[in-house]
Amino acid sequence: MRQVIYALVLGIGAHYYFFGWGVFLQIVLAVAVAIAVESTFLRIRKFPIKPAISDGSAILTAVLLAISIPSIAPWWLVVLGVSFAIVFGKQLYGGLGNNPFNPAMLGYGFLLISYPLQMSTWASEFLSLPQTLNVIFNSSPVDALSGATRLDTLKTQLALGKTTDEIELYSVAQMWINAGFLLGGLYLMIRQVIMWHIPTAFIMGVVVMASILSLSNHQFYIPPQNHLILGATMLGAFFIATDPISASTTPKGRLIYGFLIGVLVVIIRTFGGYPDGVAFAVLLMNIAVPLIDYYTQPRVFGQ
Amino acid sequence: MARHKFNGGIFIKNPYPIDKIKIVPAPLPSKVVLPLQQRIGEEAKPCVRVGERVFTGQIIAKTEDDFCVPIHASISGTVVAIDKQLTPHHSGLKSGCITIESDGKDEWIDTNFGINFLRSSKKTLIEHIQKSGIVGLGGAGFPTHTKLNNLKNCHTLIINGTECEPGISCDDALMQNYPQEVMRGIEILLHICGAKHVIIAIEDDKQVAFEALLKYLHNDKIKLQKIPTKYTSGAEKLLIKALLNIEIPSNSFAVEQGVLCQNVATTKAIFDAVELGRPLVSRIVTVTGSAVETVDNYTVRLGASFAHIVNLSKPNTNLHSVRMGGMMMGVDVDNLETMICKITNCIFVNNRQKPIKTQGCIRCGQCNLVCPVNLLPQQLYWYAKNENIDKSLDYNLLDCIECRCCDYVCPSHISLAAYFVFTKALHANKVKEQNKVNIARERFEYRKYRLARNKKEHAEMMAAKKAQLKQKMADDKTQKDKIAAAIERVKKNTKNNDDTSI
């Protein structure tokens, strides 16, 4: 788990470079809440606290959720989200190893459904520390400094009847953040913390589905290369879909699982009402994991 | 090098390597304890009495069960006890043992029954091997004669010169010191099984043994082959897959598919039995571990205590944890007084360590990558932990070979294989119970059926009788008249009686 947190550094750095201090504040807040909630619950359940905290799983959940939500979201948003993720996503199922859903994404989904406005207001430029503190803790209006993400804007524009030729498809900031997570993910693969199946299949799924749509009508649908560098694609492929507990566990199953998440991400982004599709795609496929695992058992020696 | 391979398995470095492998003959033990229960099969019945004098190589217990081999005295001396003692087994239960106190003379029973194998029939040789008490010395202890008897259309004989687990060097030592005997043993086996090819499989880290055997290689049918030093290569079915690319079905044995697999130590034991007429009374045991000063191989009489040879390796004075067999599949034993038996290939004496804390399974899948039989231990664990036998069987519980590769790689330090062994036992128990229930139900249902049948038959019989009687009555005209007469008579009588009463 610790390795995974280290691998996130590049992506977080890129985030800081473009949008300022918010991401660090969210992470610190999220981790503090995660440790507090996890300890409380372990105490209630009469489980030893220290080994559970030191395995880093709660911290990882908190970090992943903190970098998924807007860096200028009000403080109570992350507190709510992390508490929900730890309590409902993990502890109520019996703690580490027993949760059928990815806790971070469960928290994210909960926040997105409950607070859609706060969840889709992102910083649009670099914010200094005092500015960020002000925005997060005083909820001061930030209209001048914020807006929807590029992906969100694209969707709105396309929905308004514009074609892909008329709108800006790129976002430098998003591209660099995705590149950061990609490099971090490759590091994890080299260190064999994660296996190649899920990320590769995930990206394949995104490319295949986006290509099909784009080839059918390139003016209405975002081209595949832009899908890869926008939104949470790389974060999802390398850090979120690869959560071993809620992912499929057979080699073949991992390919199916990753691929279908990729396909769902594009479908939700294109036809759904939410700014990004990674969280719901992952949660949907989490439900399908027992089925996938059952039907993709490898052939046992001698049978 | 072998051209094929099986999935999974792990490369483990020998934790206690030695430069020069030699065999140290251990002194005669003053007392031996010989368990009556072999690894599989029925418990043997003693055929000596307490106080009786026995010779080395004398049969002291045997059974009617053709699956089993007799038990020989491994020293000469006096039988001092026949009682229940602790044996090295996972169950930790006591089982019957014969204790012999040595007279120090090691007088053999007449052993001049060595036979010329080329002039003997297959049957004679197999019987002789059985009588000599030979079982697989690799660690499984499967009776050799049973393998030979069940052999069908043998095409390949495989001599397993792979050490079953890292850290053990008894087979390596044997090949280095007795290459000629091993080769002669192979000739005997070849004579019995009539295979077209023989492959001697040796791991690639055993160069000395390889060269030693190469010197005595004079038969074109026999081929020496190196295989990678990967753990679980020594498992019979996996070795066959690596050498011949044949996958033995999980419900079948290798011998049924025409492949005979024998360990090198077994081969040497066959040589001793056939050529020298000596039954199996000793074996080579590796003593290793973090708590001994010298790692060595000892030839020791069966039934001697662990301490007998461990002391020769100068153990330190710390608290020890003792393990029979390898670091992976071995059996933990309580103390060094346990006896050496035919399957004791190695004794690990380690400094006692604190057990590592286990964490929850995060389904990382490391275990399914190393599983040599392609199981999904992480899934199986989930069900085995909850004692869900049916679901565990669905995930092929019974194919688990208990190699513990999954335990070795588990980042959460879960003893996965222990759960599987336990669930297997639960399943065996359930099957037994189910069989009992089935028999009882069958009996009950048969009884019900029998009662119903009896009732029906009785009713049918009565009906038939009635019908017959009716028919008889109907057929017989005189009967009717007789009845009519009788009625008349009765009426008359009543009338008369009435008259008289008035």
Q: How confident is the model at residue A66 (pLDDT cuts 50, 70, 90)?
A: very high
Contact of B360 with chain A, judged by CB distance below 8 Å, is answered with yes
Residues of A in contact with B360 (CB under 8 A): 95-98
* Shared-domain flag, residues A93 and A106: yes
Separation CA B101–CA B95 (nearest Å): 19
pLDDT tens by residue, A174-184: 889 999 999 99
Domain boundary among B277, B312, B336: B277
Model confidence at B502: pLDDT above 70: no
Model confidence at B389: pLDDT above 70: yes
Contact of B51 with chain A, judged by CB distance below 8 Å, is answered with no
Domain boundary among B277, B302, B326: B277
* Shared-domain flag, residues A256 and A138: no
B379 closest CB neighbour out of A98, A249, A300: A249
* Shared-domain flag, residues A36 and A139: yes
- The alpha-carbon gap from B370 to the nearest alpha carbon of chain A, in Å, equals 12
Asked whether residue B108 is domain-assigned, the answer is no
CATH code, domain carrying B256: 3.40.50.11540
Residue A288 CB-density burial (10 A; 0-12 exposed, 13-18 middle, 19+ buried): middle
Domain extent for B403: 358-502
* Shared-domain flag, residues B263 and B150: yes
Residues of A in contact with B361 (CB under 8 A): 97
Give ∠ CA B269-B327-B381 in degrees, rounded to 5: 120
Asked whether residue B385 is domain-assigned, the answer is yes
Residue appearing with tokens 């998003």: A174
Domain boundary among A147, A176, A193: A147
Report how many domains make up chain A. 2
* Shared-domain flag, residues A110 and A162: no
The answer to whether B406 and B371 have CB atoms below 8 angstroms apart is: yes
Model confidence at A32: pLDDT above 90: yes
Asked whether residue B396 is domain-assigned, the answer is yes
pLDDT in the model for residue B378: 92
Asked whether residue B176 is domain-assigned, the answer is yes
* Shared-domain flag, residues A102 and A249: no
Q: pTM for the whole thing?
A: 0.83
* Shared-domain flag, residues B262 and B158: yes
Average pLDDT over residues A272-298: 91
Asked whether residue B401 is domain-assigned, the answer is yes
Domain boundary among B246, B261, B277: B277
* Shared-domain flag, residues A11 and A112: yes
Interface of A with B (CB under 8 A): 51, 55, 57, 95-98, 195, 244-245, 247, 249-251, 254, 293, 297-303
ipTM of the modeled complex = 0.83
Residue A240 CB-density burial (10 A; 0-12 exposed, 13-18 middle, 19+ buried): buried
* Shared-domain flag, residues B388 and B499: yes
Residues of A in contact with B7 (CB under 8 A): 301
Fill in the DSSP letter of residue A236: I
Q: In chain B, which among 214-243 make CB contacts under 8 A with chain A?
A: 237-238, 241
Cross-chain residue pair A301–B368, CB shorter than 8 Å: no
Residues of A in contact with B6 (CB under 8 A): 301
Report how many domains make up chain B. 2
Interior/surface letters A5-42, b for 16+ CB within 10 angstroms, e for the rest: bebbebbbebbbebbbbbbbbbbebbbebbbebbeebb
Asked whether residue B68 is domain-assigned, the answer is no
pLDDT tens by residue, B353-388: 888 888 888 888 889 899 999 999 999 999 999 989
CA B280 to chain centre: 18
What is the number of other CB atoms lying within 10 angstroms of the CB of residue B250?
A: 14
Contact of B248 with chain A, judged by CB distance below 8 Å, is answered with yes
Structure tokens at B185: 């043993």
pLDDT tens by residue, B274-328: 888 889 999 999 999 888 888 899 999 999 999 999 988 888 888 888 888 888 8
- The alpha-carbon gap from A49 to the nearest alpha carbon of chain B, in Å, equals 13
* Shared-domain flag, residues B255 and B140: yes
pLDDT tens by residue, B88-125: 877 777 888 999 999 988 888 876 667 788 888 888 89
Cross-chain residue pair A298–B378, CB shorter than 8 Å: no
* Shared-domain flag, residues A154 and A300: yes
* Shared-domain flag, residues A86 and A105: yes
Asked whether residue B285 is domain-assigned, the answer is no
Average pLDDT over residues A19-26: 89
CATH code, domain carrying B458: 1.10.1060
* Shared-domain flag, residues A69 and A217: no
* Shared-domain flag, residues A31 and A43: yes
pLDDT in the model for residue A174: 87
* Shared-domain flag, residues B270 and B157: yes
pLDDT in the model for residue B442: 94
Domain extent for A86: 1-147
pLDDT in the model for residue A3: 86
* Shared-domain flag, residues B394 and B251: no
* Shared-domain flag, residues A134 and A181: no
End-to-end CA distance of chain B: 128
Separation CA B350–CA B216 (nearest Å): 38
B374 closest CB neighbour out of A195, A245, A298: A298
pLDDT in the model for residue A53: 85
Give percent of chain B above pLDDT 90: 38
* Shared-domain flag, residues A141 and A160: no
Average pLDDT over residues B326-335: 84
* Shared-domain flag, residues B387 and B259: no
Domain boundary among A97, A118, A147: A147
Domain boundary among A117, A132, A147: A147
- The alpha-carbon gap from B256 to the nearest alpha carbon of chain A, in Å, equals 14
Asked whether residue B486 is domain-assigned, the answer is yes
Interface test with A, best of B237, B364, B414, B420 (most A CBs within 10 A): B364
